[in-house]
A = this chain, B = another copy of it.
Amino acid sequence: MTILNETHDPSRRSFVETANVAGCDFPIQNLPFGVFSTKDGGPRGGVAIGDMIVDMKAANAAGLFSAVAQDAAKAVAKPTLNELMAMKPAKLSALRRELSDLLRSDGLHRAEATKVLVPMRNAELMMPATIGGFTDFFTSIDHVRRATSVLRPDAPLPPAFKNLPMAYNGRASSIVASGGPVIRPHGQQGRKDGTSSFAATRMLDYELEVGIYVGEGNELGRPVPLHEARDRIFGLCLLNDWSARDIQRFESFPLGPFLGKCFATTVSPWIVTAEALAPFRVPARARDAGDPPLHDYLSDSTDQSEGGFDIALTASLQTAAMRAKGDAPAPISKTNLAALYWSCAQMVTHHASNGCNLQPGDLLGTGTLSGPTDESRACMLELTTGGKQPLVLPNGETRTWLEDGDEVVFHGRCNRDGAVPFGFGECRGLIAPAVTI
């Protein structure tokens, strides 16, 4: 059962007035963590509030936290959040309460708090953690059905799909924060005669996903029971699993995706914590009639009743021509994290079920979050049926795949009756031309 506390109180407002404006991603009920740098200071952690960042290094120096929250507050001030992520939920919760108290409109220390705010526009947002392991799941049944039928017309739903949350190891080194480089990759593309060409990809795609940061880790050889898995989730971000479909198609049998993916992965820099997301929990997706029985290790009643998250997600595309004319990015995918066939906790438990040690700061991608409707197709592969049916943009331009100069922007919003809506900030990436090699 989800516990809510005063930090979720919808009536609470912040003295940072931009946090109270309808549509703001960072009201006082959110308080996501990130890492930033400024002209006058290197990477350190912060908390987003309205259009400002609480500089946690400065906040610590100013003595704004009590003994109860100090360990966590100090961990946020570091250049990566890994140490914070390793902490037990009670410590994180103590910090959240003090942050909320510090930033509320009727807080006692408003003057001192004001001094440690940095305008977000003056900050560079960076990777929030050192990611030891990046694992990408494949847990939307609608994506799997559509993508499988496009890439391999003869292939059925993968046999394991309904038995376990499928995944593969991704590449951590090429994960960049929103706005980081996305360079069109070279790679081999198969020909019918068994040979291949080596060229810049012609089938560049985005994949709209959510990233799950692992909190407390588990020792090698010690699985994580499902009832503990929820507390191992530190928080969520937006994740664009850029894909070069021609490279992916040629290389990936039987070892799975490799160079078709690992040229770049973009994440939103703010991590929305599990505690902030508590009001947006929903039942996990019901299994279909006739599905194979759920294994005990992947089943418990809490996960079934509130293992999902209601998070609306959009991908928008802005071409170079649109940018030149000042046209806003056009929404091309509208979906929801609740579409997942497997819950985030099930992913954690399955990943550790063989004894694999997850570590604080590990990142799990959900896989492309497509839903059943046409508008919820969450990558070009689905939207254009593998490049066969061009997508028509509002200005009349068409796209089968992404072109140089295209920028893809993701947003995520939590919005439920009785709660203050909030968001994830942006996850954006602009396609740069291939490098000549």
Cβ of A250: which chain B residues have Cβ within 8 Å of it? 159-160, 163
Given contacts A176-B220, A354-B247, contact A198 B297 (CB under 8 A): yes
Interface residues of A in 151-176 (CB under 8 A from B): 152, 155, 158-160, 163-164, 166-174, 176
CA distance A221 to B170 in the complex (A): 17
- Report if A390 contacts B (CB, 8 A): no
How far is the CB of A356 from the nearest CB of chain B, in Å?
5
How far is the CB of A349 from the nearest CB of chain B, in Å?
10
- Report if A289 contacts B (CB, 8 A): no
Interface residues of A in 178-227 (CB under 8 A from B): 181, 183, 185-188, 190, 194-196, 198, 220-223, 225
Copies of the chain in the assembly: 2
Instruction: Assess the B254–A256 pair: CB atoms within 8 A.
Output: yes
- Report if A351 contacts B (CB, 8 A): yes
CA distance A264 to B219 in the complex (A): 12
Instruction: Assess the A258–B168 pair: CB atoms within 8 A.
Output: yes
Instruction: Assess the B196–A163 pair: CB atoms within 8 A.
Output: yes
CA distance A158 to B321 in the complex (A): 42
Instruction: Assess the A354–B190 pair: CB atoms within 8 A.
Output: no
Closest to A155 in B: B254
- Report if A111 contacts B (CB, 8 A): no
CA distance A195 to B164 in the complex (A): 10
**Of B244, B256, B292, B354, which contacts A187 at CB under 8 A?**
B354
Cβ of A176: which chain B residues have Cβ within 8 Å of it? 220
How far is the CB of A40 from the nearest CB of chain B, in Å?
26
**Of B168, B194, B221, which contacts A169 at CB under 8 A?**
B168
Cβ of A260: which chain B residues have Cβ within 8 Å of it? 354
CA distance A163 to B197 in the complex (A): 9
Instruction: Assess the B257–A256 pair: CB atoms within 8 A.
Output: yes
- Report if A324 contacts B (CB, 8 A): no
How far is the CB of A255 from the nearest CB of chain B, in Å?
4
Instruction: Assess the B262–A196 pair: CB atoms within 8 A.
Output: no
How far is the CB of A132 from the nearest CB of chain B, in Å?
6
Cβ of A353: which chain B residues have Cβ within 8 Å of it? 185-187, 198, 259, 437
Cβ of A51: which chain B residues have Cβ within 8 Å of it? none
Given contacts A160-B250, A359-B173, contact A259 B133 (CB under 8 A): no
How far is the CB of A137 from the nearest CB of chain B, in Å?
9
Cβ of A198: which chain B residues have Cβ within 8 Å of it? 295-297, 353
- 5 closest residue pairs by CB, A with B: A256-B256, A185-B354, A169-B169, A168-B255, A255-B256
28 contacts between A and B (CB under 8 A): A132-B172, A133-B171, A138-B255, A148-B254, A159-B190, A160-B188, A160-B251, A163-B190, A164-B196, A169-B169, A169-B171, A173-B356, A173-B357, A173-B358, A174-B355, A181-B220, A183-B355, A185-B353, A188-B295, A195-B292, A220-B264, A223-B435, A252-B254, A253-B254, A255-B257, A256-B256, A260-B354, A263-B355
